[in-house]
Structure 1
Amino acid sequence: MTALLLRELERVETRVLGAVRCIDAVTRAQIDTPLQLQLAGGTLRRNRSGLYVVVGADALAAHAAAFALPPAAPAPGSVELALSVQDPLGRYLPRRAVLRLPRDPVAGQPDDLFTPVELALYPAAAAPTGANWSLLRASLHAQPGGDALGGALLLVRADGRVLARGLSDWRGEALVPVPGVPVTTWSDDPDAMVVSELAAELQWVFDPAAGLRTPLASVQAGRAPAALPLVDPERLEARAATLPNATQAVALAAGRTLSLSLVLAVP
């Protein structure tokens, strides 16, 4: 038997710490056009599948050389890194998020390393919409003063569940598409078998510390601020009860567009 002599000329080893999949908040489909992502204290690379892979993090330097078994510390999900996303094409509004690392190395767990983190992006006011979607187009202003409120979160609820979400841009303009509203549905009224409208509630929430107030004169002149509003929608929703917010009843219908002027008392 002849012995084989193998000589290693080069070794390339790479360990990934997780991945982010950016999706359309309305359709839940992956966004395949390139986006601009920045991870504080970490490095991201876009792969051929359109995922943004975390290839390094300052707080997880020991993980870079650990392949067979990742270090026991820090605990999974205990390191929080700030993530920001912007769309160069302007179809989606910029947003913040928190990426929790390290991911669980055991496959099949809710936050395992092998499952990308899904990050929903919300459409800009001029984004394309579906033919039969119910659309809410809102203009948000502070009271008193009339400043436009950028970075406000809008929530559409019906029957105790959230049907749609949206964000306002620096001008205070927001588009909230509600897909899937049936053309007709069963009515609770015994005198009406079917109805063509769905009763819902619209709530808008604004965080004065994170959102942006733009004077009405600047909006009318088209003078955009130096920095666009950059908020974390999930954080806003979790804190909605403790932040300035208001609600209004709306009637949704397939193919209908509601144009709303909304005000909010902001300290």
Structure 2
Amino acid sequence: MRMERIESRALAGIRLLDAETLRPVAEPVTLSGEGIRILRNTSGLLVVAAAPGFADYTEHFEPPEIPPPPTPFTLVASDASRRYLDRSFTLVLPRSTTPPPPGQPLPADSVFRPVDVTLYPSPLMRPSVRSAVVRLRVEDAHGKPLSSALVSLTLASPSIERWGLSNHNGDALIPIAGIPVANWSNPEAPPHFTFSIRAAWAPSPLPPDPDSLAAAFQPLSSTLEIAAGEEVTATIQLTWANP
């Protein structure tokens, strides 16, 4: 019997997170990209095992003397159960193989550190019992439903920020955990807290990339009064969005 030694290296690990709980997503979600090969390891991480232009890089465990030039790849996460909305994101390869100094954390671009990608719920998702539930109807400048809009709800004190995406019907679901059950600065007042609203939108043939859209957030003049465990329904209009 002849034994062979086979060496290979992973290009990146990807960890999918739930937007409400910020915990890893347990449900099987498909991750795809042109020419990208994805595997799931025993820890539940999605591992990028191959990518165009990186064949020589992945075939050896030791890093090359001259690494390949940084190359961006677009990946799409999709959930067949439709509990999460499809989204895209950009992954730049290769990631750093340089270990940090002793006692220091791994750098953000380290190949040994998973890339966190947040998934946003569709209106079909059932939020946690204690979370507030905000259902938004997002409209464009003409009052028509606007898909692929990113909405941020922010509370100044205590500091809370949650994002949500609108689906093809313009509906966005934003569960908000962590809202106090009472306003401790004034216990006799109703336990509602004022959240400010920001939104962003850009035309795209792909599922939206929330991380990219966030750079174009614009504040809205309206606010929302939200209490823990409460469900709020509202309509917002993005006057600058003109598909």
TM-score by length of 1: 0.80
Q: Secondary structure at the match of 2:49?
A: strand
Q: In the TM superposition, what are the counterparts of 1:221-236 in structure 2 within 5 Å? A: 230-236=207-213
Check whether the contact 1:133–1:179 (CA below 8 A) recurs between aligned residues: yes
Match of 2:102 in 1: none
* Residue 20 of structure 2 is aligned to residue 43 of structure 1: no
Check whether the contact 2:162–2:176 (CA below 8 A) recurs between aligned residues: yes
Match of 2:71 in 1: 79
Q: Distance in 1 between matches of 2:26 and 2:226?
A: 30
Amino acid at match of 2:88: R
Match of 2:198 in 1: 203
Report the number of matched residues: 233
Taking only aligned residues, the RMSD between alpha carbons, in angstroms, comes to 2.1
1:46 to 1:231, Cα distance in 2 relative to 1, 3 A: same
Check whether the contact 1:183–1:254 (CA below 8 A) recurs between aligned residues: yes
Gaps of 5+ in 1: 1-6, 212-228
1:71 to 1:39, Cα distance in 2 relative to 1, 3 A: farther
Q: In the TM superposition, what are the counterparts of 1:102-251 in structure 2 within 5 Å? A: 102-107=94-99, 108-144=106-142, 146-159=143-156, 163-187=161-185, 192-193=186-187, 195=189, 196-207=191-202, 209-210=203-204, 230-241=207-218, 246-251=220-225
Q: Secondary structure at the match of 2:98?
A: coil
Select 1:97's aligned residue among 70, 89, 100: 89
Structure with greater helix share of residues: 1
Percent identity over the alignment is 28
Match of 1:22 in 2: 16
Check whether the contact 1:39–1:81 (CA below 8 A) recurs between aligned residues: yes
Amino acid at match of 1:150: S
TM-score by length of 2: 0.87
Match of 2:55 in 1: 61
Displacement over 4 Å in runs of 4+: none
1:63-121 residue CA offsets vs partner (Å, 9 max, x unmatched):
1233223343335xx21100101001111000000011111112322221111111100
Check whether the contact 1:153–1:168 (CA below 8 A) recurs between aligned residues: yes
Q: Secondary structure at the match of 2:53?
A: helix
Amino acid at match of 2:214: E
Q: Distance in 2 between matches of 1:11 and 1:259?
A: 60
Q: For the pair shown, which has the larger CA radius of gyration, 1 or 2?
A: 1
Shift of 1:162: 5.4
